[in-house]
Amino acid sequence: MYHFFTEPCNVLGEDIYLDGKDFNHIRNVLRMKQGEKVSVSDGISDKDYCCHIEDFEDDRVHLKVDEIKESEVELPVQVTLYQGLPKSDKMDLIVEKCVELGVTRIVPVACSRSVVKLDAKKAAKRVEHWNGKAEAAAKQSKRAVIPTVTQVMSMKEAMKDAASLDHRLIPYELAENFDATRKAVDNIAPGSSVGIFIGPEGGFSEEEIRTAEEAGITPITLGHRILRTETAAMVVLSWFIYRFEK
């Protein structure tokens, strides 16, 4: 069953409307017909609307709600990923896979070792592109909400942004003692907000780690192997799936 998102204002009791690119996709690409089933989320609640196509209007699809379910696809913890800007198109992969794994929000971070340097104009275009990737991944994985990719922040701005979160973790290649990492993860309770800081290629500098620790961000280890930046966040999110999902 295909999954779509719509604005909350388009959910009118038993009637839901899809317009814009979704209207074009349903009618002209998928060539769907009256009576075919789709699922819809409003992007902000945990409701999953199971619908059928009632009819096609001039510029929108009219759906009828058959059943409303409480979505069970969202992680019981709210995870913000602070991702050090990587090279080439690796950020596309990171956004896509982390959305599939349940991340709530992604913050691109310009770290001291980030090779990519974006001016304001380029950054805005990339963020728009990444949000498109997030929406597509949310549809594919039937998420109840569409995770947001924010504007690019500096490491200092990212640490300030994370200050209000319940738990803040920073995987670091020189961190040791997996028991301490297990304890840090075990201390996270359902309903908590969590910030995960992932470095770019080359990792975080010693100064960034020191500043993070001073800000109360806990260094953790991801094991004995050195992981690529595009792999690290996926590992942590997989831990949360194993720990919290039933």
142 neighbors 73 (Cβ within 8 angstroms): yes
Please give the pLDDT value at position 190: 94
Predicted local confidence at residue 72, as pLDDT: 81
Q: What percent of the chain has pLDDT over 70?
A: 100
Amino acid at 68: I
CB of 77 within 8 A of CB of 192?
yes
Q: What is the mean pLDDT of residues 138-164?
A: 94
The pLDDT assigned to 223 comes to 87
User: By the 8 A CB rule, do 45 and 27 touch?
Assistant: no
Q: What digits encode the pLDDT tens for the residues 157-192?
A: 999 999 999 999 999 887 778 889 999 999 999 999
Query: pLDDT value at position 118?
Result: 86
CB atoms within 10 A of CB 234: 18
Radius of gyration of the CA atoms of the chain, in A: 20
Please tell me the distance from the alpha carbon of residue 188 to that of residue 183, in angstroms, as a whole number. Answer: 9
Report the distance separating Cα 33 and Cα 27, nearest Å. 8
Of the pLDDT bands very low, low, confident and very high (cuts 50, 70, 90), residue 129 is very high
Residue with tokens 């070792």: 113
Q: Does domain 2-70 have CATH number 2.40.240.20?
A: yes
pLDDT per position as a tens digit, 114-126: 988 888 888 999 9
Burial class, 64, CB count within 10 angstroms (exposed 0-12 / middle 13-18 / buried 19+): middle
Tokens 């759906």, residue? 63
pLDDT confidence bin for 45, thresholds 50/70/90: confident
Under 8 Å between Cβ of 84 and 229:
yes
Contact (CB, 8 A) for 196 and 222: no
Return the domain boundaries, the chain. Answer: 2-70, 78-244
Lowest mean pLDDT among 71-75, 190-194, 207-211: 71-75
Over residues 215-236, mean pLDDT:
93
Among the listed residues 127, 139, 113, the one whose alpha carbon sits nearest the alpha carbon of residue 5? 139
* Domain boundaries 78-244, corresponding CATH code: 3.40.1280.10
Amino acid 88: pLDDT: 80
H helix runs in the chain, sequence order: 20-24, 90-101, 120-140, 155-161, 178-186, 206-214, 229-244
Task: Please give the backbone phi and psi of residue 13, each rounded to the nearest 5 degrees, phi first.
Answer: 65, -120
CB 113 within 8 A of CB 84: yes
Instruction: Report the candidate in 184, 96, 187, 190 with the shortest Cα–Cα distance to residue 140.
Output: 96
pLDDT in tens, 6-43: 989 999 999 999 999 999 999 999 999 999 999 999 88
- The stretch 149-163 carries a mean pLDDT of 96
